[in-house]
Structure formats: structure tokens, C-alpha cells
Amino acid sequence: MAAKVLIIDDSNTMRKIVQRSLRQAGFEFEKILEAGDGQEALGLLENEEVDFILSDINMPNMDGIEFLRQKKDNAAIKDIPVVMITTEAGNDILGEAKSLGAKGSIKKPFTADQVQDVLGEFL
């Protein structure tokens, strides 16, 4: 069964790069959904079931950290695995993401091999 994934990033270009990297890493998805920020993602998740979420941290309106906070408090979606995709090098923000339930992180810029290494254990 192919999985459904949600990519959250305020950059349309980055969402396309993530999709391409997923394909290059050999992952096939039944459906790839996109959201421009955490708020849009939460709205999408009210009507769509996904198996996995890839989220940027730095976004307008609702960033990835606030998305994780709100996701954690929502019984319907709290167990969906999330991997953060970020330029953040600091352990503080990534530590906070992990404490809020993020399963891992991929640092931009990334390769298909890095995507495969991090996501392979979840998909």
C-alpha cells in the first residue's frame, strides 16, 4: 500500500524539491498533499488522512514548532510521524521539535540519499 504524505513549507519551490527528492529516494506515494504553513496544514488534516508529514520550521502565520504543539493536542492527528526539514543548525530548535514529537530532521540543502536515510525507518 502506498502512503499519503503531507509537505508543509512556505516555499512552493521547496515543496517541489522535497517531492522530487522523495521520488529520487525511491519512495512512492498514493497522494502528496501540500500546505504553505502549519495553519493550512491543520485545516487540510481535518479532511485528509496522511501517513507521514514533512514540515519546515520557519514559516509565516504558523511555524513548524507551533504546528507540532497544536498537532500534539489533537487526538485525531497526534500520532502521525513528522520529520522537520530546516536550515536551522541550532540544537535548541531541533530539540524543541523533538520534545514536541518530531521523529527526526533533515537539514537543507539535502540529497535524496539523506532523505532516504532519515525516512527509511518510517516508511
- pLDDT value at position 1? 46
The whole model's pTM is what? 0.94
Measured between alpha carbons, how far is 47 from 59 in angstroms, rounded to an integer?
22
Identify the bridge partners of residue 31 per DSSP, sorted by sequence position.
Answer: 4
Out of 4-8, 27-31, 55-59, 72-76, least confident range:
27-31
Helix count and strand count (H, E) for the chain: 5, 5
Q: What percent of the chain has pLDDT over 90?
A: 72
| 80-101 average pLDDT score | 88
| Domains, the chain, ordered by start | 3-107 (3.40.50.2300)
Position 24 pLDDT exceeds 80: yes
